[in-house]
Chains A and B, each alone.
Chain A
Amino acid sequence: MEEGIKLHIHNVSKTYRSDGHEVLAVDEIDLKIRNKEFATIIGPSGCGKSTLLRIVAGLVKPTKGIVRLDGNVISRPGYDRGMVFQSYTLFPWLTVKENIQFGLEISGMPKAQQEEIAQQFIERVGLKGFEKSYPKGLSGGMKQRVAIARALANNPAILLLDEPFGALDAQTRALMQELLTQVWEELHKTILFVTHDVEEAIFLSDRVFIMTARPGKIKAEIDIPLERPRSYEIKATESFLNLKKQALRLIREEAIKAIQCRE
Chain B
Amino acid sequence: MKGNKEKEWERAPRGLEDFLSPREPIPKRLYLVLALSSFAFFLLVWSVLTYGGFVDPLFLPSPGRVFRAGVDLFVELEFTTDILSSVYRVMSGFIVAALIGVPLGLFMGTFKVAEALTEPVIGFIRYMPASAFIPLFILWLGIGDIEKIAIIFVGSFFQLVLMVAVVAKNVQKEMLETAYTLGARRFQVIWKVLLPASLPGIVDTLRIIVGWAWTYIIVAELVASASGIGYMIISSQRMLRTGNIIFGILTIGMLGLLTDYFFKWLYDRLFPWVE
Chain A interface (Cβ < 8 Å from any Cβ of B): 54, 57-59, 77-79, 81-83, 85, 87, 89, 91-93, 102-103, 106-107, 134-136, 147, 150-151, 154, 160
Contacts and interface: CB of A to CB of B under 8 A. Distances in A.
A102 B175 CA distance: 12
B172 A81 contact: no
Contact of B178 (A58, A85, A92): A85
13 contacts: A78-B181, A78-B183, A82-B181, A82-B182, A93-B196, A93-B197, A93-B273, A102-B179, A106-B184, A106-B188, A134-B272, A134-B273, A136-B273
A78 B274 CA distance: 29
Interface residues of B, number: 22
A59 B184 contact: no
Nearest to A79: B183
A193 to B, nearest CB: 15
Contacts of A135: 273
Interface string B170-189: 00101101111111100010
A85 B177 contact: yes
Contacts of B178: 83, 85, 89, 147
Contacts of B181: 57-59, 77-79, 81-83, 151, 160
A78 B182 CA distance: 7
Contacts of A81: 181
Interface string B261-275: 000000000011111
A85 B272 CA distance: 25
A117 to B, nearest CB: 13
Given A77-B181, A91-B175, A107-B183, 8 more contacts: A57-B180, A58-B180, A59-B181, A78-B183, A87-B172, A93-B273, A106-B183, A106-B188
A17 to B, nearest CB: 16
Nearest to A159: B181
Interface in B181-230: 181-184, 188, 192-193, 196-197, 199
Contact of B274 (A83, A92, A150, A160): A92
A185 B26 CA distance: 51
A154 B197 contact: no
A57 B177 CA distance: 9
Contacts of A59: 177, 180-181
A134 B273 CA distance: 6
Contacts of B172: 87, 89
Contacts of B274: 92, 136
A83 B180 CA distance: 9
A106 B177 contact: no
A87 B175 CA distance: 9
